Structure 1
């Protein structure tokens, strides 16, 4: 079972495929890097649903924070390096120092701030390696993800426009069709 953040760290640490992803990402020496979102959430849900096989991911979200170089082409170069190291992985690399402009927001201060502003609390998760050990960031805790609750982060709850995007995204993702215990919480 998964009861706390240490359990999530253990799950990732014991998964050789995930550790390989983390080592490949770490080899880029990106500032303030994380592998996040579905990479972590799907692992937790797969384990809690007792799946024998990993649910395929549409992408592996790698983020970093480098305000000194916000050129999108740099992200593509990092993505290509990862693709060369492991071409079967659907890599996606984004510098969070430029994503505030894409999201019509004030500049982010770090990758962890950006993760906190992901649409769902259950997806606002990231992992990375520090000194050979897995580190987890969970801006809104892990309670929602381990209880299969889908709800917006406080950031997405702030405006009608963001909530509209949130609802469209959750509908499109249709997570319940994969993980039948998932429950979309209605927000008041």
Structure 2
């Protein structure tokens, strides 16, 4: 496991956009935040197949968990703050409060979603195990 973590860190560190996303996200001081999903596994696949580390990455997903206010307005304020923080970055960044997912998931995807207890629980629920990863 230690060897795999070293290899993962090495691969992810080759994606300068990812490192910048992580740096800017850290400055937002969001509770329980992670950069997650496709940008991570795509970076690894790119590195092991000798492509540019950013090749084929559609966006950079950021999850956080704030159950203190489940309103759309509270999440939207975080989204707007993040948009300002990511100004000038040559990448699309999508940020979502995982404490709210159960409020909209069924309407969007047609199946219910239980309320998550943490960002980690949300990441663990991904259908594709290659997505079940988050980094800070």
Normalised-by-shorter TM-score class: 0.7 to 0.9
Greater helix fraction, Structure 1 or Structure 2: 2
Aligned to 2:97: 95
1:116 aligns with 2:124: yes
Partner residue in 2 for 1:64: 64
Secondary structure in 2 matching 1:122: helix
CA shift digits 1:41-71 (9 cap, x unpaired): 1101101111135214222111111110112
Partner of 2:77: 77
Cα root mean square deviation, aligned: 1.9
Aligned pairs for 1:147-162 within 5 A: none
Structure having the higher Rg: 1
Pairwise CA distance, 1:119? 1.6
Deviations 1:120-139 (A, max 9, x none): 001111111xxxxxxxxxxx
* Distance of 1:45 and 1:5 partners within structure 2: 15
Are residues 24 and 6 of structure 1, via their aligned partners in 2, closer, same or farther at CA, if it must alter by over 3 Å?
same
1:34 aligns with 2:34: yes
Name the counterpart of 2:55: 55
The gaps in structure 2 that reach 5 residues or longer are 106-111
Aligned partner of 2:13 in structure 1 is 13
8 A Cα contact 1:79 1:91, kept in partner: no
Report deviation, 1:15: 3.6
- Describe how 1:162-181 pairs up with structure 2 within 5 A: none
Tell me: higher relative CO, structure 1 or 2? Use CA pairs within 8 A at least 6 residues apart. Answer: 2
Q: Report the 3-state secondary structure (helix = DSSP H, G, I; strand = E; otherwise coil) of the residue aligned with 1:63.
A: strand
Name stretches of at least 5 consecutive residues in structure 1 with no aligned partner.
Answer: 129-188
What is the CA–CA distance in structure 1 between the aligned matches of 2:53 and 2:20, rounded to whole Å? 17
**Aligned positions, number:** 126
Query: Bigger CA drift: 78-87 or 21-30?
Result: 78-87
Given the two structures, how large is their TM-score scaled by the length of structure 1? 0.60
Alpha-carbon shift at residue 85 of structure 1 (Å):
2.7
